[in-house]
Chains A and B, each alone.
Chain A
Amino acid sequence: MNRRTRLIVLLLAVALLGTVGTAAVLRAAGRSADRDRQQADGPPVRPGTVALHPSGARQLLVRNLAWGPHRDEITAVPAAHPGAARTASGLTCLRFHAAAGTGICLQAERGALTDTYRALVLDARLRVRHRFPAPGIPTRARVSPSGRTVAWTVFVSGDSYAGTAFSTRTAIADTRTWALDDNLEDYAVTKDGRPYHASDVNVWGVTFADDTRFYATLATGGRTYLVRGDRTARTLTTLHGNVECPSLSPDGTRVAYKKRVPGASPDAPWRLYVLDLATGRETATAEHRSIDDQALWSGTRTLLYALPGDYGSDLWTVPADGSGTARRLMTSAVAPAYTG
């Protein structure tokens, strides 16, 4: 082949490959546009005012995943009627939690070149009180029961020594002083009664006992642990093995969590368990599918969690004591939080 022929072949290939690439992008763009149109069989969603101190009945706030103009917005439904029409707040969040009039919203921000992420601390009317930059993809968010302290976890990549490994970053912020601990891995770790250092320590999934004490997951050496954390002393202490994404019950006696069970597929390795903190007794819930969520307590007896659904995920509920059966509470929703 002479130079001219080779150039012609190259140009033809560029044209062909360019067409294939463009077609793929346009098809994906069309599909993405579909998601902005309301589905006839989806739950009704109307714009309105959402507040964290509702005057009336208790509300359930979720990130709405139903297709339409309010997709990804924080929406509210009466806690007693989760299937009722959703009131959309106009605030878009990837992850959300709220307690006692304080909200935390983890949000993607479109930059000129790439997306960046941030954590927004919200007041009771969902107005932004403070912004913190977040260094990766949001995964967990929690507010302490009094509303004073907030925590969030993101995934970061390219942080470990071998390329495709991922790790987490968990931060805790004080909403009065705006003091920020932007990486809980800096806390002093006590594992099995001894001081512990390791480069592969990851911390995620904070759940608060009060404004300074909390529980979280610590992973190192291929194992996970429930840790008790103290924001004042800057310490993490391991309590129990094989615990991920703990969620403390409102009475502070139990932790709902993801447990890796033997024999499960590597894509679906977890089951939802409840740990009694005083006795160390583990109870399997009646949810037999693998869950990958930080469960939420709706009162002292019932758990709420997300499972994959037709439009991303649905919210399910199951008794915390191992009885009963799992049932679907809401379709097309994720990241729940109760007000009041």
Chain B
Amino acid sequence: MYLADSRGGPPARTAAPDRTGPGRRPAVPGTVLALGAVSLITDVSAEMITAVLPLYVVTALGLSPLGFGLLDGLNNGVGALVRLAGGHLADRGGRRHKVVAGLGYGLSAVCKPLLLVAHGLPAIGAVLAADRAGKGLRTAPRDAMISLATRPEHRGRAFGVHRAMDTAGALLGPLAAFAVLRIAADGYDAVFTVSGCVAVLGVLVLVLFVPARTPGTAPAPGTAARPTLRTSLALLRRPPLRRLTLCAALLGLTTVSDSFLYLLLQRGLGVPAGLFPLLPLGTAAVFLLLAVPLGALADRAGRRRLFLAGHAALLLAYGLVLAPLRGLPAVLGVLVLHGAFYAATDGVLAAATAGVVPPEQQGAGQALVGTGQALARFVCSLAFGAAWSLWDGRTALAVAAAALAAAALTATRLLRTGHPHREGTR
């Protein structure tokens, strides 16, 4: 198999597994379940806010929310920098992943009660930006901890379990928020307070149940234990990581954002306006259901292969939107393919990254690949918006589909040439 995750092959050393005890070692270690629980709880908290924020801004504050999107470009740039910094800092000083992740979760938790006192759009925008900075800070250290805690051959499944738990939280959050509003009409302050309490609980689970250092992975005394900024960036000189980052970015450049896809889906396939808010739930539900099985499949069939197969599913989804089809079956088809795309790529990319980065630089490696992908997707959004203006939405999607096909072919070649070694995982 050429689409291999290197194990034991130079230059990457694989991270050692979580030693949960002598004898049987579970495929999904307790650390991953604990981090999954932290993400689930944190996402409940975050999505409670996201679900009610438009309603709060329009009905409680009486403000027009149309100017809100203006800050997002800035937030995305800052988010990317913070993510890189988070990954790098987490690797320093003998891996303080837990501390940096904890700071990220803590910062987001502090932002929830701040919404109680932010009454204008600029103030709310600032709180949301800080919240997002917290998210950027914690993402890479968290993925590094998942990688370090899991045996290499089970990483796909472990990331799948984490992403499924994360998505479950995202689906539960809005339900929790509306349950609060049921009990207390217009009780947005109560929603913010409850969300803050939930976020604090998430931080506490992290502090109590995620081990500070993964046993057996600490570098031997005397070896260079503090990666500098230069060594973090030098990761990109490693051909496998460079290729993976390049592929993630290349495919990210042709990954049309969810909202554009939903907009085109609604117009092209004739989704009634009333069903529009349900489209993201469809994608999330499929992601939730498929994350674990596809993660496990990635462990057996090869993570790069599944990552590419996920983009093939996305390409099929574009095709379905462009096809002269209408009606519910076509819409469901697009949502299933879209959810499968996330399940086959999101955690799988992190697992693939873990395989080509040495253990002491997991944070920086995860940050590089993740940031490359996120920035590429943002550029794609800007380009897609411009293409939409130049031609129209459907033509823009057709061009994106052609570009995605070309990017996928290039990525396949890149990942094939990069891996002379057979895949060792079974």
A→B interface (CB under 8 Å): 1, 6, 9-10, 13-14, 17-18, 20-21, 24-29, 31-32, 35, 94, 110, 113-116, 133-137, 139, 155-169, 171, 182-183, 186, 196-200, 202, 219, 222, 266-267, 292, 308, 312-313
Contact = CB atoms under 8 A, between A and B. Distances in A.
Given A155-B54, A155-B65, A182-B273, A28 B189 contact: yes
A10 B205 contact: yes
A64 to B, nearest CB: 16
Contact of B58 (A139, A196, A219): A139
Interface string B274-285: 101100100000
Contact of A162 (B76, B174, B390): B76
Given A198-B389, A199-B388, A156 B276 contact: yes
Given A18-B197, A116-B274, A267 B120 contact: yes
B195 to A, nearest CB: 9
Given A10-B208, A17-B197, A158 B273 contact: no
A164 B53 contact: yes
22 contacts: A9-B204, A10-B204, A13-B201, A14-B201, A24-B193, A28-B189, A29-B187, A113-B178, A136-B277, A139-B58, A161-B384, A162-B72, A163-B75, A164-B125, A164-B128, A167-B66, A196-B389, A197-B393, A198-B389, A199-B260, A200-B385, A222-B70
A161 B385 contact: yes
B41 to A, nearest CB: 11
Given A20-B197, A161-B385, A267-B120, A166 B274 contact: no
Contact of B184 (A32, A199, A219): A32
A159 B263 contact: yes
Contacts of A197: 388-393
B188 to A, nearest CB: 8
Contacts of B69: 160, 162, 164-166
Contacts of A312: 62
Contacts of B75: 162-163
Given A161-B381, A197-B390, A267 B121 contact: yes
A199 B65 CA distance: 18
A202 B190 contact: no
B208 A25 contact: no
A157 B53 CA distance: 9
B55 interface: yes
Interface string B127-152: 01000000000000000000000000
The 7 lowest CB-CB distance pairs between A and B, nearest first, are A165-B69, A133-B274, A28-B187, A162-B72, A28-B184, A24-B193, A199-B388
B272 A1 contact: no
A27 B69 CA distance: 33
Contact of A29 (B70, B184, B384): B184
Interface residues of B, number: 72
A9 B122 contact: no
Contact of A6 (B50, B59, B70, B208): B208
Contacts of A139: 58
B59 A137 contact: yes
B68 A165 contact: yes
Given A13-B204, A134-B273, A24 B189 contact: yes
Interface in B63-99: 63-73, 75-76
Given A24-B189, A162-B72, A165-B69, A137 B273 contact: no
Contacts of A156: 276-277
Contacts of A115: 178, 181
Contact of A266 (B65, B122, B391): B122
Interface in B265-309: 267, 272-274, 276-277, 280
A193 to B, nearest CB: 16
A199 B62 contact: no
Interface string B179-194: 0111111110110011
A133 B273 contact: yes
Nearest to A25: B190
A337 to B, nearest CB: 19
B411 to A, nearest CB: 23
Contact of A32 (B62, B186, B197): B186
A164 B263 CA distance: 16
Contacts of A182: 272-273
Interface in B365-399: 378, 381, 384-385, 388-393, 396
A166 B121 contact: no
B35 interface: no
A289 to B, nearest CB: 13
A133 B278 CA distance: 13
Contacts of B120: 266-267
Nearest to B66: A166
A159 B178 CA distance: 20
A152 B222 CA distance: 70
A184 to B, nearest CB: 11
B168 interface: no
A116 B277 CA distance: 10
Contact of A199 (B125, B204, B385): B385
